[in-house]
Structure 1
Amino acid sequence: MTEESTQALLARVAGELGIATEVDVERFDNVVAMAEHAFAEFRDFPAFSSLGHTLTFGDLDELSSRFGAWLQHCTDLEPGDRIAVQMPNLIQYPVVTLGALRAGLVVVNTNPLYSEREIEHQFNDAGVKALVVQANVAQNAANVLPRTGVKYTVVTELADLHKPFKRFVINKVAKYIKKMVPPFDIPGAVTLNDALESGSRHRLEPVPQMRDSLAMLQYTGGTTGVAKGAMLSHGNLVANALQVHEVLDTHPIGDEPQTVVQPLPVYHIYAFMTALYSMVNGSHMVLVPNPRDLDSVVAAIRDYKPTMFCGLNTLFVALCNNETFRKLDFSSLKVTLSGGMALTHAAAERWEEVTGCPVAEGYGLTETSPVVSTNPGNRIVLGSIGVPVPNTLVRIEDDDGNILPVETAGELCVKGPQVMQGYWQRPDETAKVIDAEGYFRTGDIAKVREDGFLQIVDRKKDMIVVSGFNVYPNELEDVLYKHPDVLECAAVGIPDETTGEVIKMFVVSKSGKLTAEEVREFCRRSLTAYKVPKLVEFRGELPKTNVGKILRRELRDKP
């Protein structure tokens, strides 16, 4: 079967499912225009909730306008400057992110759990000039800011946008009773509420932004593990929100505003896109600050009775093992979306058994804003990643770039309006993954099935996925090689029913006396917790190629 006939198969199946092969991805010129549509059409509708407090779309308009005006009139930041946002799922996140975009700045999402080393690299690589950070995680940032170009820091506490009394109680309990805010010192930092107050005295000036204007730097290891910023334009993000909206219309929810419980972190591109989707149809996004706190996830589902839930395999398993969760009323739940890591048949079947709602698995990458494909609501095929979203071309290539027919596995390549502009200040790396035709090489091995659905077969790269987070062996090994007693090391992913994969580190010790706990403790000093190896095995030597390259795949396949 030729490439043309493969594309015809995909188009035919999309038509049978009622999915348009193309949608008007230029409906909005930029993310700001999409937000302004929501402000006008859904002004009094609930937009975002966290910790028991809700902002309407009108509130979001007013508050983000104030923050944008503060950036424009109370700092010397210019359109195009980068601002890092480092916080968990709080209603402050959409306020500051939209405010920054309305002021013409470029948002750099930063994981709140990052170590000092990771923060410093990201801030310096992106040239970050401003930071909005949640107080609970500000200590690491405070320690590295003097070694970065950050000029302005805004600090927010958990309940800053709540009513005064509730704000006082929640923030004081978090700080003094639960001891959730480690001490930190950031000279010149301002509070978010002070910035909003100052911004209210100024007018937000509209900033012209085209579809190709840079909106975000979303950091990823790409195919090498060296953290680099995927340049996502306003056009990329708008296109993907509209592509997702089209496919979600195949689910039994219609085009009406939904109530979406989102426990996954909005600094991750998967959850970020669901927040943008809410701007298209006025959905209410319930943000859960800590998905590991299952009680808070269960409470959000109980209290808000969502029509849509976003999760991943790890979370589905944990919730279904929770007795309180299993007793909830799920009659309102119509859509469950899965992404970020492979969905197992067992987890999907158990979720549907408990909730009565099937799980629709999708696939995407940071570099594709992120959604490439998803299972439509009217035909969910477990074990597949569904069909391409509208305006998206996919093809399967072998190592020589030859296009492969249906049912033949090769590297999945993607072309569409959601594909990134490239890697920030890394044209050589960009050229390695985006070809002359505009196809992005994903590094994943997949096939187009005879039924027109896509299926991931394997990963070409050595990336490890832990609970939906990408972990790159090069980074872990670079850290561990700094230990004076490590001669050689190699990190691989080992299948795990709970987290999808766990990290196993193979180590050759110079002295023969190094212990597994010493290896893990050394890694903890420089790596986020989910990147710390769970398993450590010592060997006398590691398998290598003829030229001396360590064979990770051999370690992974024959541990």
Structure 2
Amino acid sequence: MNANIFATFEAIAREAGDAAFLETDDSQVISYARMLASTARYAHALVSLGVRPGDRVAVQVDKSARNYCLYLATLRMGAIYLPLNTAYRADELAYFLADAQPRVFVCEPADFAPRSELARAHGVAHVMTLTEEGGGTLDRLADAQPETFDTAQVAGDDVALIIYTSGTTGRPKGAMLTHAGLLSNGLALTKLWGFGRNDVLLHALPLFHAHGLFISGHCALLSGSRLLFLKKFNAQQVLSLLPRATVMMGVPTFYTRLLDEPGFTAARSTNMRLFVSGSAPLLADTNRDFQQRTGQIVLERYGMTESAIITSNPLVGERRIGCVGQAIDGVEVRIADDHDQLLPVDRIGGIQIRGSGVMKGYWRKPEKTAEEFTADGWFRTGDQGIRSSDGYLTIVGRAKDLVISGGYNVYPKEVEMAIDALAGVAESAVIGIPDRDFGEAVTAVVVRQDPGLTGEQIIQALKGRMANYKVPKQVHFVPELPRNAMGKVMKSTLRETYAGPLTLA
């Protein structure tokens, strides 16, 4: 049996035939049969560029149906897909290209010249372009290829995806997700969330993030259902489409912005059977407001790049607001102390996981991989949580000080290093504080050498160096950072101090 996850998608797609798979913003409908033909052409195109099973294909393009078919084609021909945030700047891309060493880098036509120069410097064999309309060099190459392709035979433990995450060091790590892990996680969610052929998933998430690329999309592919494929989230557009959809997956920002729309009512949501939130903390007040407005409770779940989904509230049964539910099929969760010893229920400790969905390891970082796993094979998530006697998990904090803003991971050390490099800065600490719209707002606390330095100057300087979602929305200046007896900055103290209104002073 072929363990390639696309082999499962292919069997379902052949049965679905001319049924709609994906509908775009401009009402273009792509059937399952057409998806199979498109992925075959892109797979042939990659092979013609010398891509072989196990090679990396790095992609930094805007969301489109062609982009999604390229992802599926990469799986189909056994290569490794590497999604890159469209907000990444040249310095950030340089690291990923050097570390992953992709055979092909796919970008937007407007970025071709600078991306080609960057890619050549890091040994990338081919830089191709892709567009929504099909005018890119990879599009043209694919359009001339056959519409059939023999899906590559792979082992379940073969890597399907590398998605970069990071840590307190600020040095990104490529989490390797396998075909078997993605399939196990996808099948568990499809069953748990009750997906069937009559479902219509409203997809407004980006494709460079796990949530949009496979957590949501795979549920549709594994159930033969339809995607309403939006380039990005727009509250009014989503409102207009809710009567045609049955499920929506989003980040907390989606739900706060829907609640800001007077037209978002229970009547408008009548056809919706499920709203799911993840990738960032959903404030309890937001969920209560949502329930009061619609009569529905948003289903909260917990996942991470290194493992996809870990726990979920149930489709049928008690959805506990502020809680991320129970372990899904194929995943085990435990709470342990600092010595990896199991803690009893209702005790706060480190969340550790194991199961088929957990990553194979970090790309070319065996030492770091070994550090993150316990001696008995559990992955330390870095999150702090508490489990109830009936297995419901509540996340209470993050040991690694990760900030999740608008559903995107922001690693404080990376931002701190950029701030500390600015003229007039002595040192800095970056934290996240609760924010209704973004879940958390990136906040910088800075000790300055130049008393004339302003928060706005810091923000503008960073905007040219890193993706905008990483740039602090708030900047505070202090004479010194609070430290404990060991000299470590006490970020919990900073979070308590600055959980207030925005300031750039």
**Structure-1-length-normalised TM-score:** 0.84
Among residues 189, 204, 225, which one is paired with 2:149 in the alignment? 204
**1:400 aligned onto 2:339:** yes
SS in structure 2 of the partner of residue 95 of structure 1: helix
Conserved 8 A contact 1:236-1:420 = yes
Distance 2:494 2:94 in 1: 32
Match of 2:503 in 1: none
Q: 1:88 to 1:38 in 2, by over 3 A?
A: farther
Match of 1:80 in 2: 54
Quick one: which amino acid aligns to residue 430 of structure 1?
A: T
Quick one: which amino acid aligns to residue 260 of structure 1?
A: L
Match of 2:311 in 1: 373
TM-aligned CA deviation for residue 468 of structure 1: 1.2
Deviations 1:43-75 (A, max 9, x none): 211112222212111011001001101111x21
**1:416 aligned onto 2:391:** no
**1:141 aligned onto 2:80:** no
TM-aligned CA deviation for residue 324 of structure 1: 3.8
Match of 1:185 in 2: none
Among residues 209, 231, 247, which one is paired with 1:268 in the alignment? 209
Among residues 217, 226, 230, which one is paired with 1:288 in the alignment? 230
Conserved 8 A contact 2:20-2:30 = yes
Match of 2:176 in 1: 231
1:491-502 equivalences in 2 (<5 Å): 491-502=430-441
Quick one: which amino acid aligns to residue 85 of structure 2?
A: N
Among residues 97, 104, 110, which one is paired with 1:123 in the alignment? 97
Match of 1:523 in 2: 462
Q: 1:446 to 1:549 in 2, by over 3 A?
A: closer
Match of 1:152 in 2: 126
1:42-441 equivalences in 2 (<5 Å): 42-51=16-25, 52-72=27-47, 74-135=48-109, 141-142=115-116, 144-160=118-134, 191-200=137-146, 204-222=149-167, 224-249=169-194, 255-271=196-212, 272-291=214-233, 293-301=234-242, 305-326=244-265, 329-368=268-307, 370-379=308-317, 380-441=319-380
Distance 2:167 2:39 in 1: 32
Conserved 8 A contact 1:290-1:296 = no
Which 10-residue stretch deviates more, 323-332 or 504-513?
323-332
SS in structure 2 of the partner of residue 413 of structure 1: strand
Distance 1:436 1:42 in 2: 45
SS in structure 2 of the partner of residue 89 of structure 1: coil
TM-aligned CA deviation for residue 357 of structure 1: 3.1
Deviations 1:269-316 (A, max 9, x none): 12222111212110111221122x3333334435xx111011121110
Conserved 8 A contact 1:116-1:143 = no
Quick one: which amino acid aligns to residue 209 of structure 1?
A: V
Quick one: which amino acid aligns to residue 230 of structure 1?
A: A
Deviations 1:22-56 (A, max 9, x none): xxxxx972212122122222121111222221211
Distance 1:54 1:140 in 2: 34
Quick one: which amino acid aligns to residue 195 of structure 1?
A: L
Match of 1:19 in 2: none
Deviations 1:251-283 (A, max 9, x none): xx6x43410001111221122221112121101
Conserved 8 A contact 2:7-2:76 = no
Distance 2:488 2:327 in 1: 37
Distance 1:260 1:422 in 2: 31
Conserved 8 A contact 2:333-2:353 = yes
Quick one: which amino acid aligns to residue 290 of structure 2?
A: W
Conserved 8 A contact 2:387-2:394 = yes
Distance 1:203 1:34 in 2: 16
Provide structure 2 residue ranges, at least 5 long, that are not aligned to the other structure.
Answer: 499-505
SS in structure 2 of the partner of residue 450 of structure 1: coil
Q: 1:89 to 1:357 in 2, by over 3 A?
A: farther
Distance 2:113 2:446 in 1: 32
Q: 1:498 to 1:125 in 2, by over 3 A?
A: same
Distance 2:292 2:497 in 1: 35
Q: 1:222 to 1:487 in 2, by over 3 A?
A: closer
SS in structure 1 of the partner of residue 144 of structure 2: helix
Conserved 8 A contact 1:136-1:157 = no
Q: 1:376 to 1:453 in 2, by over 3 A?
A: same
**Structure-2-length-normalised TM-score:** 0.93
Conserved 8 A contact 1:231-1:420 = yes
Deviations 1:87-115 (A, max 9, x none): 33311122111111222210001111111
SS in structure 2 of the partner of residue 132 of structure 1: strand
TM-aligned CA deviation for residue 159 of structure 1: 2.9
Quick one: which amino acid aligns to residue 126 of structure 1?
A: A
Matched residue count: 495
Distance 1:143 1:552 in 2: 40
TM-aligned CA deviation for residue 150 of structure 1: 2.2
**1:41 aligned onto 2:15:** yes
Distance 1:198 1:153 in 2: 18
Distance 2:124 2:426 in 1: 37
Distance 1:240 1:541 in 2: 46
Q: 1:142 to 1:349 in 2, by over 3 A?
A: farther
Deviations 1:419-473 (A, max 9, x none): 0000001111111211232211111111111233111122212111111111111
Conserved 8 A contact 2:185-2:357 = yes
Distance 1:345 1:515 in 2: 34
Q: 1:350 to 1:68 in 2, by over 3 A?
A: same
Which 10-residue stretch deviates more, 131-140 or 51-60?
131-140
Q: 1:483 to 1:143 in 2, by over 3 A?
A: farther
Quick one: which amino acid aligns to residue 262 of structure 1?
A: H
Which 10-residue stretch deviates more, 390-399 or 348-357?
348-357
Conserved 8 A contact 1:87-1:137 = no
TM-aligned CA deviation for residue 135 of structure 1: 4.0
Among residues 423, 435, 455, which one is paired with 1:484 in the alignment? 423
Q: Percent identical across equivalent pairs? A: 28
